Structure 1
Amino acid sequence: MKTAVVLFTRDLRVRDNPALAAACANAEQVVPLFVLDPALGELSGNRVRFLHQSLADLRASLREKGGDLVIRMGDPVREAIELARSVDAEGIGMAADVSRYARRREQRLAEECERHRMSLKLFPGLTVVDPGALRPGGGGSAYRVFSPYHRSWRAATWRDEVATPTKITLPPGVAPGRLPEPPAGESPDAADGGETEARRLFASWLRHIGPYPELHDDMAADGTSRLSPYLRFGCLSPLELANAAIKQEAEEYARQLCWRDFYYQVALTMPKLSTEPIRPSGDTEWRDDTDALRHWQDGTTGVPIVDAGMRQLRAEGWMHNRARLITAAFLTKHLGVDWRPGVQWFFRWLLDGDVPNNSGNWQWVAGTGNDTRPYRKFNPIRQAQRFDAEGVYVRRYVPELKGVEGGAVHQPWRLPDEVRRGLDYPGPLESHRDEAVWLRP
């Protein structure tokens, strides 16, 4: 093949990138392309910033190998076809994805490639195991329960990691295009994007992965990898991460990567995962309470562990996984508010926000999703006492409570009146003061 185009989407890396590796192995000239789609630009200021940083880093890596990242703006299908025709490319390669938007894009691109007599090849790379590769017995299209999926996932033969291209040759005369400066984003303490930063964190994480089973729920210790944003944008290969975890016998961490794959295979068969319940029988009569929703969003519910999580979300564009469970359960199970506004609020702020994992986990907590117990409730006070016993996590994100010592910080309404009046911290929402069970120690 003389020339091929690689359309990058959520695989912003040069290491273990099957689409890029195949193009470099089979074509004399390769055009790495990313199209800034205005339709997606307003979804999240945090993710747009992270994306632009990741693109700048990818461009630098490609230039080191003699190539470049060609930037265009507009409809990805139209721009990819136009560029491919301008360089007489014989084919386009890209990573397969599972969201409704991504699959429509793939279908449209396939139709246009056929019309212009080009080939389109989709590659793996966004997950450890391809979303459609594992099927349950009995003819089901996707696993609905995690445990059998995990057994099948661990028993599967995974693809081999592909080599990083050593040289990339662009066709002559291709204008690279200007990459806009990263916008400010909304979260002041958000992580920086890019494969270089991902690999730095990856190397550091592998040195500290041993205590993960004991620390991953310790909210004060912050003993998780924080690699999820880099997986979401493909700055890091999930296969490489899973292989490294298993090599170090970190099975518990590999299990978390399996959960990620689990929701990708669910999303493949549930295109409306963000808006329609998987288990309608688990849905309920949700309360229409805009005031309660606003307090939850602002981190002013008066329940410190909930407020700490919601404030971490705004400050960092990220939230500890245990805090995600607690805050989501508080909105749905205690405030009785529909899970869908919660999905959208997390989408606005999370660097790692994607359809499969954000929506899938929200449905799990709300009792409408896969492998869930509809009547499960997370008692926020007991969760706080168990996973933030001394209140370190709460005081980190709720400065009004910094003067409260130890675990007393989790129930400030029980402090002496003279102490409580000086805290400038709200009491529990009126709609929740009758929940005596979870207000008790």
Structure 2
Amino acid sequence: MSISVVLFTSDLRLHDHPPLRAALDGTELTVPLFVRDRAVDGAGFAVPNRLAFLADCLRDLDAGLRERGGRLVVREGDLVDQVCKVVVEADADEVHMASDVSAHAQRREERLRRALEAEGVRLHVHDTVTIAVAPGVVTPAGSDHFAVFTPYFRRWSDEHLREPLAVPRTVRVPDGVGSDPLPSRGDLRGLSEGLAEGGEQEGRKRLTAWMRGRVSSYEERHDDLAGDATSHLSPHLHFGTLSPVELVHRARRAGGPGADAFVRQLAWRDFHRQVLAARPDAGSADYRPRHDRWRSEREARDDIEAWKEGRTGYPVVDAAMRQLRHEGWMHNRGRLLTASFLAKTLYVDWRVGARHFLDLLVDGDVANNQLNWQWVAGTGTDTRPNRVLNPVTQAKRYDPDGGYVRRWVPELAGVEGRAVHEPWRLPDDERAALDYPDPIVDLSEGLARFKQARGR
């Protein structure tokens, strides 16, 4: 009797799952396996918010498998060791898994391949499970990846995507393969109070509501901070409870400017992944060095702490940082503003900010988080590396009535209209009544420091 193992990683779903479909079609019995990789813990990526969302995802995945006659096997330890142990216990012939692009994932895949080959077991790695267009499929002449998004997007848009796969009706798991208990978010501490629920069922509910409603206005409203008109699907894409291939197909069927703009954002995910696949060190090193001499963490300690706590004196920056702490998520425009403020106005190394985001973001991953931070810092793929986002100008444009600021900075709830973005300009008696700090830096001074540092 032929037996396979399906190794789930960041693809925690049953809908449109190529590794699972290939395993079910090619063998009689299948072991659905997830390994809590201790190397992820050791690298500092196993933070409470993501562990809680992961626990939701695993419980939902197990429930879906049990509805189809199967179950999820959960193990903890070194991923390669645990996969090999399960292969031996199940007497499996092959292992299926999704491809990944980080340096850690690529090293882990190679280790697993060698270990399985020594046991006479085949490893099948499937592309377009967590991405729509695999890295290396579209490349410019003379290079292994695109360094600029717009030409990449043109080529990406011309690619034919595979059709989404149906949910399997039956999953038969061999007896005798033991499992650790499923984790629970109830066992975790230090979670963001407003952390969203995880799992494929929740992701599909959100996707259905998004496609039936707000996607049509996405192009015109995606930067509306107070309107909160984005999809909130990024955590589900990060954990793979939703398929990016399916999302592109559904958005294209819906049509219209909003859906087109949403597809463009999905292409940005693939863009960053093809950059990271080609340049794995971009997760920690400057993609395009600017010879920055960042302020040391010791020198900038007070500024960094004020930024983290949402007490910089710039209301829109503070609102976004408080949203991050409360929800484990932040509006995309807020991410751009807070990153620009730290890296350029405060002139602090982008890695400091990226690490803080990874400590809290439920959707935090190496490709999107690190390369977006590099884009903002001007060390990445931005074609205008010295642009600086003015938080006051941006606030007046994307939160014109101040609703976003008042939601997250209650100290300013009584300040009416656009004045909420510049509380230091209020009359002295009104300003004195507010329990809110003065700006930690003058914007013009921050800009001058940045320009001097960049030799401009």
Q: Determine if the TM-score, normalized by the shorter chain, exceeds 0.5.
A: yes
Indicate the residue corresponding to 1:49 in structure 2. Answer: 52
- Structure 2 residue matching 1:273: 3-state secondary structure: helix
Q: Offset of 1:328 from its aligned partner?
A: 0.3
Indicate the residue corresponding to 2:250 in structure 1. Answer: 244
Alignment of 1:72-221 (within 5 A): 72-124=75-127, 125-138=129-142, 140-182=143-185, 183-208=188-213, 209-221=215-227
**Aligned equivalents of 1:339, 1:286: Cα separation in 2:** 9
Q: Offset of 1:37 from its aligned partner?
A: 1.8
**Aligned equivalents of 1:397, 1:274: Cα separation in 2:** 31
**Aligned equivalents of 1:120, 1:336: Cα separation in 2:** 46
**Aligned equivalents of 1:83, 1:435: Cα separation in 2:** 56
Which residue, 233, 236, 240 being the options, matches 1:230? 236
Which residue, 309, 324, 337 being the options, matches 2:320? 309
- Deviation digits for residues 208-266 of structure 1, max 9, x if unmatched? 21010111000010000000000000000011111111111111110000001000000
Indicate the residue corresponding to 2:294 in structure 1. Answer: 286
**Aligned equivalents of 1:276, 1:26: Cα separation in 2:** 42
**Aligned equivalents of 1:61, 1:411: Cα separation in 2:** 51
Please say if 1:420 is aligned against 2:431: yes
Q: Report the AA paired with residue 238 of structure 1.
A: P
Q: Offset of 1:36 from its aligned partner?
A: 1.1
- Deviation digits for residues 369-424 of structure 1, max 9, x if unmatched? 01331210101101000000000000111111111111110000000111111110
**Aligned equivalents of 1:75, 1:251: Cα separation in 2:** 41
Which residue, 269, 286, 300 being the options, matches 1:260? 269
- Structure 2 residue matching 1:393: 3-state secondary structure: helix
Q: Offset of 1:279 from its aligned partner?
A: 0.7
Q: Offset of 1:134 from its aligned partner?
A: 1.2
Indicate the residue corresponding to 2:421 in structure 1. Answer: 410
In the alignment, is the contact (CA less than 8 A) between 1:231 and 1:237 conserved in 2?
yes
Unpaired segments ≥5 residues, structure 1: none
In the alignment, is the contact (CA less than 8 A) between 2:317 and 2:334 conserved in 1?
yes
- Structure 1 residue matching 2:39: 3-state secondary structure: coil
**Aligned equivalents of 2:445, 2:97: Cα separation in 1:** 54
- Structure 2 residue matching 1:35: 3-state secondary structure: strand
**Aligned equivalents of 1:33, 1:336: Cα separation in 2:** 44
Change (3 A) 1:341 1:435: closer
Q: Report the AA paired with residue 254 of structure 1.
A: V
Alignment of 1:313-332 (within 5 A): 313-332=324-343
- Structure 1 residue matching 2:5: 3-state secondary structure: strand
Please say if 1:299 is aligned against 2:307: no
Indicate the residue corresponding to 2:281 in structure 1. Answer: 272
**Aligned equivalents of 2:311, 2:370: Cα separation in 1:** 24
- Structure 2 residue matching 1:361: 3-state secondary structure: helix
Indicate the residue corresponding to 1:387 in structure 2. Answer: 398
In the alignment, is the contact (CA less than 8 A) between 2:4 and 2:31 conserved in 1?
yes
- Structure 2 residue matching 1:272: 3-state secondary structure: helix
Q: Offset of 1:184 from its aligned partner?
A: 3.9
- Deviation digits for residues 139-159 of structure 1, max 9, x if unmatched? x01100111100110001112
In the alignment, is the contact (CA less than 8 A) between 2:376 and 2:382 conserved in 1?
no
**Aligned equivalents of 2:409, 2:167: Cα separation in 1:** 45
- Structure 1 residue matching 2:91: 3-state secondary structure: coil
Change (3 A) 1:193 1:283: farther
Indicate the residue corresponding to 2:62 in structure 1. Answer: 59
**Aligned equivalents of 2:422, 2:261: Cα separation in 1:** 32
- Deviation digits for residues 106-132 of structure 1, max 9, x if unmatched? 000000011000000001201011122
Change (3 A) 1:431 1:267: same
TM-score normalised by L of structure 1: 0.96
TM-score normalised by L of structure 2: 0.93
Q: Report the AA paired with residue 20 of structure 1.
A: L
- Structure 1 residue matching 2:273: 3-state secondary structure: helix
- Deviation digits for residues 356-381 of structure 1, max 9, x if unmatched? 11011111100010133121010110
- The answer to which of 112-121 and 164-173 deviates more is 164-173
Indicate the residue corresponding to 2:454 in structure 1. Answer: none
Root mean square deviation of aligned Cα: 1.4
Residues matched between the structures, number: 435
Q: Report the AA paired with residue 413 of structure 1.
A: W
Q: Report the AA paired with residue 136 of structure 1.
A: P
* Identical positions, percent: 49
Q: Offset of 1:327 from its aligned partner?
A: 0.4
